[in-house]
Structure 1
Amino acid sequence: MAKRRKVIRAGRLVYAAVYSTVHPSDSPEARAAKTKCSSAARQRMNMKYAWQKLELLLASNFTPRDLVVTLTYDDDHLPNDRDGAVDKIKRFWVQLRKARRLAGQSLRYVYVTEGVHGDKRLHHHVVIDGTGGDLETLQSLWPHGKVYIEYVDAYGYEALAGYLTKEPREHGSPNGLRSWTPSRGLKKPERESGWVPDDVTLCAPPGATVLDSDSMVNQWGEVKYLKYLLPDKRPERKTRPRRSKPRKTA
């Protein structure tokens, strides 16, 4: 007999499940019990909600030391509608990409445009790879309002993904339909699936931080689920942009 193992790797973030599956010789009772295990595993691993997909995208491409940026508009530059705001941030990306290219630096980002919740004032939330000294550069390229910066590790991937998908969930689709725009060439999460011996168990590697876990065992089968964050082995950056805290209403 063997069990099924599924793994999703997104940078340091890992989702994993090991579960029993139905065998042709199983009795109806055993088949029902094992089906319950496999259904529980699939429910944990199918990532059907938009925030889950965004969490994996963020973890695949951004480190805890990358940036969460809020771009606002003052009264003199406030666009008339969402399309006007999108036009402005598209021009911003053109300018920032040019500046990064001249400095020999990469540019990765994911952004959302919001303006439905709170005071309904248009603004943008951006996740971007940090380079050091970013605040001054971003401020020089965004003359339309304020620029606020935090770090990804101030949120964590799951909380950040939930924050960036809040408007579709709260004012539209309960699943939080995709509302973000990514830069080109972002890495995708890696998915693995295969068979393992029946005595194989599931555990996080040494140094990993377990974020969530669940298990179910019955007479005929079991399912074990883990979500964990691998240790950060990247060297600390010597320079970090000056931190600026965003408005609570943004």
Structure 2
Amino acid sequence: MSSRRVSAGQIVSLAVLVLGALGMVAPFLWMFSTSLRAPTSAYDLPPHWLPTQFRIGNYGDAVTGPVPILGNMVNSAVIAIAVSLGMILTAPIAGYAFARLRFPGRNLLFVSLLASLMVPIQVTIIPLFLIMRSFGLINNPLSLILPGLTGALGVFLMRQFFLGLPEEMLEAAKLDGATPFQAYRLVALPLARNGVSTLGVITFLASWNSYFAPSIFLNTVETATLPLGLVLMLGPYGAGNLAAVMAATTIAIAPALLVFLFAQRWLIDSLTQSGVKG
């Protein structure tokens, strides 16, 4: 049997990957460990990776505390699902129009779309707040759902995906008498299902983890989303029960982790297809 020699470069690469993996996993291990500690030992110095006594009751305290964390999870889920559905309905058709259709002002509109990506949300939040207030939607989930039903980033990503599709298939659909919408619905959209799925997952996770916009539009504990609920649990000056907050955070990441694991195949296929043209 011939032995395969391992080069120094491979050893260094493996060491870097292991260190990077430990750096990413360590915060999650610390969070889970803290969620099982007694509240008085959450700030122990020097810190201990493993709790000296396991307290499962922190999860009960997180759920039954003054902050309705489960209700906040439902609020986040409703908003994230609605925003994701809106994005996967509007962004693909707009991206297809920019990629495959010819119409006056297309390039100017696309440049304006790209320019909007450079504007941070902090710049547009005041006019958006005034618009939502004029419609009476402050402290209403619709104030977060309506602006998120489409987005420049989603349109841009779908445009790039449609540009990578084989031109011959779309030309064949046109020769068969298909209208532009039929070519999109029957040919382009089925081929782009991995890209659409990826966009939906990215949108869901971004909405699920969003804190800034909900902190502006929602102002009661009952309508708060999950990130707001976690901050409310921590209390003024961060003096709340840290162990219970970590337990609630562990519960909070479970849906996002399940969504990612469920859509992992689509994400990998999308990344693979984006690197293969023609």
Could you state the TM-score of these two structures normalised by the residue count of structure 2? 0.25
Which structure has greater strand proportion?
A: 1
Bigger CA radius of gyration:
2
